[in-house]
Structure 1
């Protein structure tokens, strides 16, 4: 009986692990396969860089207390965390999706005001991609504010939603 219980536990544990692995990146509300393709070859970027729709960048973050954000982040970053700013030119279609490789807060600022997100999906079981956030924006320039990151690097992809 003891062997049967141990074997049953091992089978159940293996099934749970397989289910968790299967849930991984497929657990996002929308596909993240483009990000998975872009992130490994993302070029290095510093705070203030220009993002291009359809590409990803690997940001070297700096201490949040050294960044001059256009407006204060919606969620105040904890002391000792990191962040960066970036610029993007929003195409006429206007809807953009920003995906981050790790935990961090993202604000999008246009015309001096924070733009509320229209969609959010976050998954802790997808290797290399932590969250993806969508915004409906006006065509033209926008500022991306990243804050609250616990690590000094963060990959960011900016894409048109699928």
Structure 2
């Protein structure tokens, strides 16, 4: 084998290994969440479009259009005050009898869940910057019945949201 052929073999082998390591890094990134996000990975690609104020269903995802945060009428001011020029939305959900919800987002945004006109504290949080398409997942223990989900501080004008019962 001549020197040029040897270089091609080395370069090809490097490209194969680099591609494999990038794929492994993406898988490792998603595995870094504190709990599985495989349901979100399945739901997000086909998430239907939704506007601010939409009703979200437990067990499903939506691609929520966000509006300038200063145009959103939040039920309760966001716990973390959003910066000017960011985006937000609200949505409603019916919390199931067991009361546990896991809300996962495709990008950066603050999540507040409101019940009885007050913000509920999260009981678990996991965020990973190396999982393609999923940025954070937050768990809440709520009372069964209606709740409002508020998104604020997003830098993009849309975000995919999955509302699930924790596994």
Whether these two folds match at TM > 0.5 is yes
Question: What's the counterpart of residue 139 of structure 1?
Answer: 144
**Structure whose alpha-carbon radius of gyration is higher:** 2
* Structure 1: segments with no counterpart, 5+ residues: 1-9
Against the structure 1 CA distance between its residues 48 and 118, is the aligned structure 2 distance closer, same or farther, given a 3 Å change threshold?
Answer: same
What are the residue-to-residue correspondences of 1:9-158 with 2, within 5 Å? 20-158=25-163
TM-score (norm 2): 0.86
Counterpart CA distance in 1 for 2:157 and 2:117 is: 27
Q: CA deviation at 1:21?
A: 3.4
1:160 and 2:138 aligned: no
Q: CA deviation at 1:24?
A: 1.1
Against the structure 1 CA distance between its residues 58 and 18, is the aligned structure 2 distance closer, same or farther, given a 3 Å change threshold?
Answer: closer
| Equivalent position SS for 1:102 | coil
| Equivalent position SS for 1:74 | coil
TM-score (norm 1): 0.89
Tell me, yes or no, if the aligned pair for 2:102 and 2:165 is still in contact at 8 Å: yes
Against the structure 1 CA distance between its residues 59 and 18, is the aligned structure 2 distance closer, same or farther, given a 3 Å change threshold?
Answer: closer
Structure 1 vs Structure 2 CA RMSD: 1.7
* Structure 2: segments with no counterpart, 5+ residues: 1-13
Tell me, yes or no, if the aligned pair for 2:26 and 2:132 is still in contact at 8 Å: no
Q: CA deviation at 1:23?
A: 2.0
| Equivalent position SS for 1:24 | helix
Runs of 4+ in 1 over 4 A off after TM superposition: 14-19
Question: What's the counterpart of residue 4 of structure 1?
Answer: none
Aligned residues: 152
